[in-house]
Amino acid sequence: MSASIDRDHGLGLLRQMVLIRRFEEKAAELYTVGKIRGFLHLYIGEEAVAVGTMQALTPEDNVVATYREHGQALARGMEAGSVMAEMYGKAGGCSRGRGGSMHLFDVSRRFYGGHAIVGGGLPVAVGLALADAMRGRPAVTACFFGDGAVAEGAFAESLNLAALWRLPVLFLCENNLYAMGTALERHQAQTDVVRKAEAAGVPGEAVDGMDVLAVEAAARRAAEAVRGGQGPRLLEARTYRFRAHSMYDPDLYRAGDEIEAWKTRDPVVLFTAVLRGQGVLGETDLAAMETSVAAEVDAAVAEAEAGPWEPVEDLLKDVYTAPVDR
């Protein structure tokens, strides 16, 4: 752990992780009362991965994520109100209420989803990076995906082309050990994701995904290599989701003591202790942070509640299917 951390930077990282945590706790509550419907996958426990990685990116870089992407969206600077309104299905949502929790998009922040298909974001990221390379636009495309996605053909194909064409992609595997109820070792003979990447010609590194500073440092190293024209890199962030796969999952496949053991490495608690230990975080800082985060989450909910639904006349807008001749 670094000997001294800049106070503003440290508090900024912690605030982002606390915002994601409180935002999602509220989303879970709103789901149980039917305000948010459809699918909802919580990122609780994995916050250090999105927050740490985003530190290495500039506004010119691209981000592609999965359906478990509230954390990435907030860490990328999307307004909590536009994300919450999207989950409500309201017209003011970032995808005009048409996508919901799994399809958050914000082109102005170069946030290209939100993909419900496992591994679906990987070829999209390679395409974005190819477009940048062809245009001579110097940018990194960061692509988040889960351990389950390494089983998809799209993983091998995307890493292969990115390596072959030396495209500027930072592949970020969020290895939380499970793909729904299936543990990595139950679907992969080779469970070492870094070795898999290296087999495709993409150098990789594993990092403690519960340690935000370790993720930030690894992401900066990897992004620097990618930015310097060295081709793609992969980071495997070892992490854990504290909640079930989605709100529908009874979570019967994980042992209670495994979950409890990982919770002792809660990224928010660990980093709070680091900042306290270094004397840059006092009791009043923490209380003030919680108050301001609570106000931001409350404002997001109020915005989502008050926002209009899309008018019925617009229902077929952006639906491209031609009428069927009968």
Ligand X SMILES: Cc1ncc(C[n+]2csc(CCOP(=O)(O)OP(=O)(O)O)c2C)c(N)n1
Give kind and range of the element (H or E) at residue 205: strand 204-208
> Who contacts 72 (Cβ-Cβ below 8 Å, separation ≥6)?
50, 54, 63, 65, 111, 144
Number of residues located near ligand X, criterion CB under 6 A: 15
**Spatial contact of 129 and 162, defined as CB atoms under 8 Å apart:** yes
Strand partners, 169: 141
HSE value, Cβ hemisphere, 13 Å, CA-based, for 103: 12
116 binds, among ligand X, Mg ion, none (CB under 5 to 8 A by kind): ligand X
CB closer to ligand X, 247 vs 293:
247
Which ranges constitute the DSSP H helices of 169-255? 184-187, 193-199, 212-227
Check binding of 158 to ligand X (CB under 6 A): no
Q: Which of 40, 139, 179, 197 binds ligand X (CB under 6 A)?
A: 179
Which ranges constitute the DSSP H helices of 211-325? 212-227, 256-263, 267-277, 283-306
Q: Which of 45, 92, 99, 146 binds Mg ion (CB under 5 A)?
A: 146
**Spatial contact of 254 and 191, defined as CB atoms under 8 Å apart:** no
Q: Residue holding tokens 């799994």? A: 102
Of 54-62, 134-142, 155-163, 175-183: span binding Mg ion (CB under 5 A): 175-183
CB closer to ligand X, 10 vs 31:
31
Check binding of 68 to ligand X (CB under 6 A): yes
Check binding of 246 to Mg ion (CB under 5 A): no
Q: Which of 176, 197, 271, 280 binds Mg ion (CB under 5 A)?
A: 176
Name which of residues 135 to 154 contact ligand X (CB under 6 A).
Answer: 146-149
How far apart are CB 262 and ligand X at their closest, in Å?
A: 13
Site track for ligand X across 91-120, x = CB under 6 A:
-------------------------xxx--
Q: Exposed, middle or buried: residue 221 (CB in 10 Å: 0-12, 13-18, 19+)?
A: middle
Cα angle 72, 315, 105 (rounded to 5 degrees) comes to: 15
Q: Which of 69, 132, 147, 303 binds Mg ion (CB under 5 A)?
A: 147
Check binding of 44 to ligand X (CB under 6 A): no
Token pair of 67 as six digits? 């359906």
Which chain residues interact with Mg ion by CB under 5 A? 146-147, 176, 179
Which chain residues interact with ligand X by CB under 6 A? 66, 68, 116-118, 146-149, 174, 176, 178-180, 245
